[in-house]
Chains A and B, each alone.
Chain A
Amino acid sequence: MHRVKVRVVEDALDANNTIARANRADFDRAGVAVVNLMSAPGAGKTTLLERVLAGGSSIDGVRVGVLEGDVQGSLDADRLAHLHVPVVQLNTASGFGGECHLDANMVRSALPALPLDDLDLLIVENVGNLVCPAEFHVGEDARIMVASVAEGEDKPLKYPLMFRTCELVVVNKVDLLPYVDFDLERFLYHLDAVHPGVAHLEVSARTGEGVDALRAWLARVPDRVQTPA
Chain B
Amino acid sequence: MHEFSIASAVVDTAVRHAAGRHVTEVHVRFGRLRQVVPDSLEFAFGIVSRETVCDGAKLSWEVVPARLRCTGCAHEWEIELPAFRCPGCGGAAVTVLSGEELEVESIEVEEGAACIA
A-to-B contact residues, CB < 8 Å: 1-16, 100-101, 131-132, 135-136, 156-157, 160-161, 164, 192-197
Contact = CB atoms under 8 A, between A and B. Distances in A.
A132 B5 CA distance: 7
Contacts of B101: 11
Given A3-B110, A8-B13, A12-B13, A164 B5 contact: no
26 contacts: A1-B110, A6-B17, A8-B13, A8-B105, A8-B106, A9-B105, A10-B13, A10-B104, A11-B101, A12-B6, A12-B10, A12-B28, A12-B103, A12-B104, A16-B9, A100-B5, A131-B35, A135-B2, A160-B35, A192-B85, A192-B92, A193-B83, A193-B84, A193-B85, A194-B82, A197-B93
Interface string B1-28: 1101110011011101110000010001
Interface string B79-94: 0011111000001111
Task: Report whether over half of chain B's contact residues are helix, strand or loop; otherwise say mixed.
Answer: mixed
Contacts of A11: 101-103
B5 A135 contact: yes
Given A12-B13, A160-B35, A5 B2 contact: no
A7 B106 CA distance: 4
B75 interface: no
A195 B81 CA distance: 13
B1 A8 contact: no
A135 B9 CA distance: 11
Q: Place the interface of chain B in its size category.
A: 35 or more
A101 B83 CA distance: 26
B33 interface: yes
B108 to A, nearest CB: 5
Nearest to B86: A196
B111 A160 contact: no
Contacts of B12: 12, 15
A104 to B, nearest CB: 12
B54 interface: no
A15 B13 contact: yes
Contacts of A197: 92-93
A16 B107 CA distance: 20
B84 A10 contact: no
A5 B26 CA distance: 10
A203 B10 CA distance: 39
B115 A2 contact: yes
Interface in B54-69: none
Given A5-B107, A136-B5, 17 more contacts: A2-B111, A4-B108, A6-B17, A8-B13, A8-B105, A10-B104, A12-B6, A12-B9, A12-B12, A100-B5, A131-B35, A135-B5, A160-B82, A161-B34, A192-B85, A195-B84, A196-B94
Given A14-B13, A15-B13, A164-B84, A5 B103 contact: no
Nearest to A130: B2
A13 B84 contact: no
A13 B17 CA distance: 14
Contacts of A9: 103-106
